[in-house]
Amino acid sequence: MTTTLYGAEVSYFTGKVRAYLRWAGIPFEEALSTADVYRNVIVPAVGAPVIPVLRAADGRMLQDSTVIIETLDQAQRRDGATLSVHPATPLRKLVSLMLEAYGDEWLVIPAMHYRWYYDSEWAMAQFGAMNAPDETPENQFAIGQKLAVPFSKAATLLGASPNMVPAVEASYEALLAELDAHFAVEPALLGSQATMGDFGLIGPLYAHLYRDPTAGKLMRERAPNVTRWVEQLHFQPEGLRTPLDDTDSIPETLLPVLRRMAREQLPAMVEIAGYVSAWMAENPGEALPRALGNHDFSLEGREGSRIIRPYSLWMIQRVRDHLNGMAAQERQRADAFLRDIGAEALVDFPDPPRLAQHKLTVRPAD
Ligand SMILES: N[C@@H](CCC(=O)N[C@@H](CS)C(=O)NCC(=O)O)C(=O)O
């Protein structure tokens, strides 16, 4: 059976999986997530209207970009592939997992902001064309307008409320400059080979921040090296398969990006952990809602409010699992590295009870 990716060009997490499939050389076909596909394939298979969903060659339906990539990566390894999305050495694997969590769960703020603040009509037309490809442009726009309602509110809910717009843009522009300096000297985040961290970052940086008109212009003008990395990883990633050496070193030029992640995202994750632990204590055994109210956060010297997304902690749990699985000496080195980049929160993270991914949220692990 052919592997089928159900999704769309306009979708963040579809871009992440598509880039991985091409990089891994897995033959696949892509099916547009039209209204019919949502109704007849996606919702019956996974119980929620979400993309991407992948029908694997063995017929299994997989949902969640991380689960899809992990499952296929393991299958490839079983079939004898020597290259994995996870670096073979411990510190690099840690950094790769951290950057996946950063791309998936934090860069959603600038990605949603630029799309819905500057290009909302364009995005509505894109949503309509995805949902009803055979309709006229006028009808597609009307359909897109309706579909876009929850998404257009997402930027504000995630933290890009009007008072935070200057902070969100300052942070993203600084990130672009940091990444541009990095990709001037390295082909991928950790060097010669793309890893899970690259796939985490390609979600926001391709589907939204490269493709959307306003953000795309900004990227092309300000960050030619980021643009080149996006184009290579998304369209022709076979050049990013040169195995990493065994030094376990982290490129110097990546450190500003990691410090930014540590400074911006980790304090919010620590706070969320407190809310999630309290909720789980009060609601034993239950799946968590997708959002648990709001919490305050700071970005570039401004104070904002954002929704508490329990799912984010499942991504942090992956990082913590890797850290906790390290041998004593490796762990010491990793802790020293984390302290050095301002990520000490990961060393002593207030872990909630164990979580399992569940549709678009999490539940207590069995
Ligand atoms: N963690 C999920 C997130 C998937 C996701 O948020 N997909 C978006 C499109 S890129 C979606 O379908 N959202 C529907 C919704 O949030 O209700 C993944 O990694 O696949």
184 lies in the same domain as 96: yes
Record the tokens describing residue 73, joined without a space: 């990566």
Domain-terminating residue out of 240, 271, 297: 240
97 lies in the same domain as 232: yes
172 lies in the same domain as 229: yes
Instruction: Count other C-beta atoms under 10 Å from residue 328's C-beta.
Output: 7
Contacts of 33 (CB under 8 A, 6+ apart): 6, 7, 8, 11, 14, 42, 51, 130
103 lies in the same domain as 226: yes
103 lies in the same domain as 204: yes
207 lies in the same domain as 149: yes
Task: With respect to residue 164, please indicate whether it lies within any of the assigned structural domains.
Answer: yes
Task: With respect to residue 84, please indicate whether it lies within any of the assigned structural domains.
Answer: no
The CATH number covering residue 102 comes to 1.20.1050.10
Task: With respect to residue 118, please indicate whether it lies within any of the assigned structural domains.
Answer: yes
> Which atom of ligand 1 is least distant from the CA of 13?
10
152 lies in the same domain as 236: yes
Task: With respect to residue 316, please indicate whether it lies within any of the assigned structural domains.
Answer: yes
| Most ligand 1 atoms within 8 A of CB, residue of 71, 360, 361 to mutate | 360
Q: In a 3-state reduction of DSSP, which class is residue 69?
A: helix
How many domains would you assign to the chain? 3
222 lies in the same domain as 269: no
The CATH number covering residue 15 comes to 3.40.30.10
**Residue 309 Cα to ligand 1 middle (Å):** 13
206 lies in the same domain as 96: yes
Q: In a 3-state reduction of DSSP, which class is residue 231?
A: helix
Contacts of 60 (CB under 8 A, 6+ apart): 71
**Residue 49 Cα to ligand 1 middle (Å):** 9
Instruction: Report yes or no: 261 and 99 within 8 Å, Cβ to Cβ.
Output: yes
- Does the model's pTM come out above 0.85? yes
What are the φ/ψ torsions at residue 17 (nearest 5 degrees)?
Answer: -70, -40
- Atom 13 of ligand 1 has which residue's CA nearest to it? 50
Domain that holds residue 159: 91-240
Pocket of ligand 1 (CB under 6 A): 11-13, 50-52, 64-66, 104, 360
Question: Which of 334, 299, 341 minimizes the C-alpha distance to 319?
Answer: 334
**Residue 63 Cα to ligand 1 middle (Å):** 9
Domain-terminating residue out of 188, 213, 240: 240
Record the tokens describing residue 165, joined without a space: 């717009």
| Planar angle of CA 325, 330, 336, nearest 5 degrees | 110
Burial 218-247 (b: 16+ CB within 10 A, else e): bbeeebebbbebbebbbeebeebeeebeee
Cis peptide before 52 (omega within 30 of 0): yes
| Most ligand 1 atoms within 8 A of CB, residue of 13, 38, 105, 196 to mutate | 13
**Residue 52 Cα to ligand 1 middle (Å):** 7
pLDDT per position in the chain (366 positions), as tens? 899 999 999 999 999 999 999 999 999 999 999 999 999 999 999 999 999 999 999 999 999 999 999 999 999 999 999 999 999 999 999 999 999 999 999 999 999 999 999 999 999 999 999 999 999 999 999 999 999 999 889 999 999 999 999 999 999 999 999 999 999 999 999 999 999 999 999 999 999 999 999 999 999 999 999 999 999 999 999 999 999 999 999 999 999 999 999 999 999 999 999 999 999 999 999 999 999 999 999 999 999 999 999 999 999 999 999 999 999 999 999 999 999 999 999 999 999 999 999 999 999 998
Domain-terminating residue out of 240, 275, 300: 240
| CA 138 to centroid of chain Cα atoms | 32
159 lies in the same domain as 283: no
Instruction: Report yes or no: 241 and 194 within 8 Å, Cβ to Cβ.
Output: yes
**Residue 65 Cα to ligand 1 middle (Å):** 9
**Residue 210 Cα to ligand 1 middle (Å):** 19
- Atom 14 of ligand 1 has which residue's CA nearest to it? 50
**Residue 37 Cα to ligand 1 middle (Å):** 16
73 lies in the same domain as 103: no
Task: With respect to residue 245, please indicate whether it lies within any of the assigned structural domains.
Answer: no
Question: Which of 199, 187, 190 minimizes the C-alpha distance to 65?
Answer: 199
104 lies in the same domain as 208: yes
Question: Which of 347, 342, 280, 270 minimizes the C-alpha distance to 312?
Answer: 270
